[in-house]
Amino acid sequence: MTMNSAQPGRTAVQLLDVRKSYPSGQNRVWALRGAFLALAPGSFTAIMGPSGSGKSTLLQCAAGLESPDTGRITIGDHVISDLSPDALTRFRREHIGFVFQDYNLVGHLDVNANLALPMVLGGEQLDPVWGDHLLVSVGLGGLQSRRPSQLSGGQAQRVAIARALASRPTVVFADEPTGALDSHTARDVLEVFRSTAERLRQTVVMVTHDPRMASTADRVLFLADGLVVDDMDAPTVDGVGDRMLALSR
């Protein structure tokens, strides 16, 4: 079992013996075989592993986008693995932010409307002062009226990051958030993400395949065969790369 220094009652995200399988013909393929982790509030954690290691499944289960077969998932003080589908949908809207690789912006809406959309769907309004603050924080001040087609890839991902932070969620999950960007833009966007989350004391969990991206996190968790097998505090590019190479052999 791999844990960090988070203590009971002081965790933003906790998984206890989480298992998840998918049907494959007459058999089942296990994506998670008993994952354990506990992440402290305000931490920035990267999750890495070889292809098929279960990292995306772990992220989706932790974010409430997939239901585990067994195990317990807690976000803040809420055991989300016990929630009904409707209650889980409401919980995600209010307590969880998600940043996707392909931005998931609505093409006919401007930046302001995309930023506010999740809250509007929940019957709430985004405080315009808070919205402007977020856009300035991610380097998009003055671009509120632009539509996604008028933005670069890096700008579009910054809108997605600001949108994930808009509801002041308990935790933000990011699945390969820089995977669709060139390396220079990816570094810039990730630095904005990290610095903004740090100022807001936001908990972030990010799946990535890139050791350079992972090395910007506070710590890295490594998965193999559906299990958390190792972790690294104060990661370096070389250290993460060497560990990934060893896991891929």
pLDDT score, position 4: 40
pLDDT score, position 68: 95
Query: Minimal CA–CA distance to 90: which of 127, 64, 69?
Result: 64
DSSP state of 248: H
pLDDT digits (tens, 9 = 90+) for 50-91: 989 999 999 999 999 999 999 999 999 999 999 999 999 989
13-248 topology per CATH: Rossmann fold (3.40.50)
Does the predicted model carry a pTM greater than 0.85?
yes
pLDDT digits (tens, 9 = 90+) for 148-196: 999 999 999 999 999 999 988 999 999 988 888 888 888 888 888 888 8
Question: Which residues face 30 on adjacent strands?
Answer: 21
Would strands 27-39 and 13-24 be described as parallel, antiparallel, or unpaired? antiparallel
Residue 201 pLDDT class (50, 70, 90 cuts)? confident
Q: Is the pLDDT of residue 219 over 90?
A: yes
Q: Where are the domains of the chain?
A: 13-248
Spatial contact of 39 and 46, defined as CB atoms under 8 Å apart = no
* CB-based contacts of 244, cutoff 8 Å, min separation 6: 48, 49, 50, 211, 222
Q: What is the overall mean pLDDT for the chain? A: 90
Residue 243 pLDDT class (50, 70, 90 cuts)? very high
Residue 93 pLDDT class (50, 70, 90 cuts)? confident
Determine the Cα angle at 66 with ends 120 and 87, to 5°: 50
pLDDT score, position 64: 93
Residue 172 exposure: Cα atoms within 13 Å on the Cβ side: 27
